[in-house]
Each structure stands twice: as structure tokens, then as C-alpha cells.
Amino acid sequence: MTDNRTMPEISGICDQSCEILQRTDDGDNLEPRHLKLIEMAVNGQLNEKGLQALSDLHKMVMTTGYIKPFFHGIEHLTIDNIGFLYWKGTQVEHYTLSWAYSDEAKKEAIEVSRRCKVIEDRGEKPDYKNVIWTWEG
């Protein structure tokens, strides 16, 4: 693949990527797909849609601060860059990242969310143990 971008364009992409990383704990707080976007950006692998996504991410990070999207759009559920799922910031499950964005994983994540809500309704705090290991619905 030949990179036909000019030096100022490449520099701007790298600058945006660095600013995003700096404001997200070196990328540790980024959602895995956003971290992949940064990787692809600095390696010159983005098409126009990817460049727009990078620009949108940069704008969000610089104006309102980074807000990690909910995993599969499921409220209160997020995922980190090594596959740990969190319910309101507490680790409740782990997925292999290569599987995490599949339809099957989404179904499983919906079940994890349901369990977390049931546990909260009982007045308990969901965690890895009571959501997965000792779950009694």
C-alpha cells in the first residue's frame, strides 16, 4: 500500500493520535476499537471514513474528555483493552478480544448485564464472583 499523504497530513494525524493517547492514560482508558483506530492511524492505514472517525475521537477527547462507549451499547457495561468487562467500573467478566465483538458475545454480555441488575436489585454489588462463579438467578 502506498501512502500518498503529505508530510503535514501525516504529522497532523500523529499529533492527534498522541494527544488522544496523552489524555487517556497512554491509551489504557480507551475502548479497544478506539485504540485500534489510533494504531491504524499512526501506521497510515486509515481510509477517509477512518480519518473522520479519528477526527471525531480527537474532538471529543479535546473538548469534553474521553467517554468510553458502553460495550455493545449495553448501559453500564464497558470493556478494557485486555478483555475485562466492567459493570459501573467493577470487573465482572472477561472476554477474549477477538471474540468480544461477535453476535454471540453480545448475547452473553446482555446476560451479564441482566445478572448485574438482578444482583443490584438484591442490594448487593455485582462482581466477578457473584455474576459468574456463584451465580444463582
pTM above 0.95, yes or no: no
Q: What is the mean pLDDT of residues 1-30?
A: 79
Contact 85, 94 (CB under 8 A): yes
Is residue 133 helix, strand or coil? helix
What the block records as the C-alpha cell of 22 is 496523552
- Between CA 10 and CA 15 the distance in angstroms is 9
Rg of the chain over all Cα atoms, to the nearest angstrom: 18
Which CA distances in Å does 102 have to 8, 50, 105, 114, 129?
37, 21, 5, 19, 24
> H-type helices in 76-125, by residue range?
97-100, 103-121
Find the range with the poorest average confidence among 7-11, 47-51, 72-76, 108-112. Answer: 7-11
Kindly state the average pLDDT of the residues 100-112.
98
pLDDT higher than threshold 80 for residue 5: no
Quickly count: other Cβ atoms within 10 Å of residue 131's Cβ: 23
C-alpha to C-alpha distances, 49 to 34, 80, 124, nearest whole angstrom: 14, 24, 43
The pLDDT of residue 137 is 78
